[in-house]
Amino acid sequence: MTFRSLTLTTVTAAFLALSAAATAQAADAEKLKLGFAKCAHCLPMALTPELAKGVEIEAINFNSGNDVLTALVSKSIDMAQVTYLHYITALDKGFDVVAVSGQVNGGSEIVVGKGITLKADDWDGLKKLIAERKEKGEPLRVAASRGNAQDIHMRGALQKHGINVNKDVQFINIPNPSDHAAALQRGEVDVICTVEPFASQIRQTGVGTHFALPYDQAAGNLTNLIVTRSDVIKEHPKAVEATVGSVVALVDKLKSDQTVWVDVINKYTGMDKAVATEALKNASPDYAIHKDSTLAIATMMRELKYISNDVTAAAEKNLDYTFLEAVTKKPKSELGF
């Protein structure tokens, strides 16, 4: 055997050994199903499988956060991207949910349809319009997807400005956010609090105009949270940690390169990349779990009669920083605790 052939044989053997080791490692990796919703902030979760190390993630897209939460509590999936509001709602219903990471915040916007002439953040003007409509017996029609972050953000912001959604306006539930633009265009609603990238689509197509970012309430701009169940943590702790690791890697990636973010929005929604780029102006990647704000959200949701129980104790107890601490090597005092 010549030196050249010997070298080639050695390199080939080493390559095969590495390939076999990689295959064995992949075969040994635990598998988890991870659900995520269809919004500009949620869709990057589709990238977590390629960022995962030590776990095989099957990322599954759902129409809304409500659908994702239902899949988690029914054990159709193992982990879920939902919102802080879904987390509180789940605890109120007695569901077993544990928050293990943040993801992306922001993404809510209140827009008004044609014929509604209000300047941005003119809350006094909005209150005057609501009063005029009530006097005519034609209440202002205000819409959102009931139960999602934008719904609660809007209710909290309206309450902050002295407007009671249950008494002062006619609330209309449009479950799928992708239907918001059409409802506004057809004149079925006057005002809507929607999620990106649909908010940017509404503004850029002229269907509606910006009124406010509804962050002047207890939830601030907090939206997305990664949750799982206690049985998943007990049976697959390493896989949960590895999945949190992929979320942290995703957040770091989104902070440095929005190209992949725009591409994934375009892929899943079919929206123009210019709309996707605009949507990301209202987005804040953040893997921290904000404890104090979480408890404030629980209190606000009870005041809004969105939940019936005081779940603040459970909301704090079920925040598990263990995996974020292991992945980031930071104490929980630096992770939102």
DSSP 147-183: TSHHHHHHHHHHHHTT--HHHHSEEEE-SSGGGHHHH
One digit per residue, the tens of pLDDT, for the chain of length 337 reads 444 454 445 545 554 454 444 444 555 689 999 999 989 999 999 999 999 999 999 999 998 888 999 999 999 999 999 999 999 999 999 999 999 999 999 999 999 998 899 999 999 999 999 999 999 999 999 999 998 889 999 999 999 999 999 999 999 999 999 999 999 999 999 999 999 999 999 999 999 999 999 999 988 999 999 999 999 999 999 999 999 999 999 999 999 989 999 999 999 999 899 999 999 999 999 999 999 999 999 999 999 888 999 999 999 999 999 999 999 999 999 999 9
**In the 8-state DSSP scheme, what is residue 28?**
H
Q: Counting every residue, how long is the chain?
A: 337
Confidence (pLDDT) at 13: 54
Confidence (pLDDT) at 9: 52
Domain spanning 107-210: CATH superfamily = Periplasmic binding protein-like II (3.40.190.10)
Find, among 35, 42, 173, the residue nearest to 107 by Cα. 42
User: Which pair of tokens denotes residue 218?
Assistant: 């207890």
Angle value at C-alpha 80, between 79 and 81, nearest 5 degrees: 145
Strand order in the sheet with 191-195: 170-173, 141-144, 191-195, 108-113, 208-212
Confidence (pLDDT) at 63: 87
| Cα distance between residue 144 and residue 122, in whole Å | 20
Confidence (pLDDT) at 147: 85
Asked if 40 contacts 195 with a C-beta cutoff of 8 angstroms, the reply is: yes
Q: Give rounded-to-5 percent helix, strand, coil for the chain.
A: 50, 20, 30
Do the domains spanning 31-105+221-332 and 107-210 agree at the CATH topology level?
A: yes
The residue extents of the domains of the chain are 31-105+221-332, 107-210
- The CATH code of the domain at 31-105+221-332 is 3.40.190.10
Confidence (pLDDT) at 148: 86
Asked if 307 contacts 88 with a C-beta cutoff of 8 angstroms, the reply is: yes
